[in-house]
């Protein structure tokens, strides 16, 4: 049961990573209307997480390197969740055979 929760969290992180990629790519286009409901929702979902890292690494010459740190940390969490899910899932399968 715990393995299923870890796997679901890892899949959620995967979806969130895709949203972050879209958000970062869209930030390269200065003429985008962020008042558009879809883009506004994307911004509201991703900006709180990105702002955590923007406070650590400020933009350097217009380039925001904080997003790289945000991606690395989230991918580490995703990897740890998948690893925990597979470890717990395999141990559960070993005990359920009896």
- The 10s digit of each residue's pLDDT in 12-60 is 999 999 999 999 999 888 899 989 999 999 999 999 999 999 888 877 7
**Cβ of 41: how many Cβ atoms within 10 Å?**
11
Q: Token pair of 34, please? A: 């962020």
Q: What percent of the chain has pLDDT over 90?
A: 51
Among 60, 79, 57, CA closest to 69: 57
Range of the domain at 37: 2-96
Alpha carbon 49 to chain centroid, angstroms: 9
- How many domains would you assign to the chain? 1
- Stretch among 9-13, 77-81, 94-98 having the lowest mean pLDDT: 94-98
- State yes or no: pLDDT of 73 exceeds 70: yes
């Amino acid at each position: 049961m715990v393995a299923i929760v870890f796997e679901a969290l890892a899949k959620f992180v995967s979806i969130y990573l895709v949203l972050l990629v879209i958000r970062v790519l869209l930030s390269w286009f200065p003429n985008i209307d962020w008042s558009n409901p879809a883009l506004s929702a994307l911004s509201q979902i991703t900006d709180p997480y990105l702002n955590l890292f923007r406070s650590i690494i400020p933009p350097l010459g217009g380039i925001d390197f904080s997003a790289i740190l945000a991606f690395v940390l989230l991918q580490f969490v995703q990897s740890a969740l998948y690893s925990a899910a597979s470890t717990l899932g395999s141990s559960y399968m070993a005990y359920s055979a009896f």
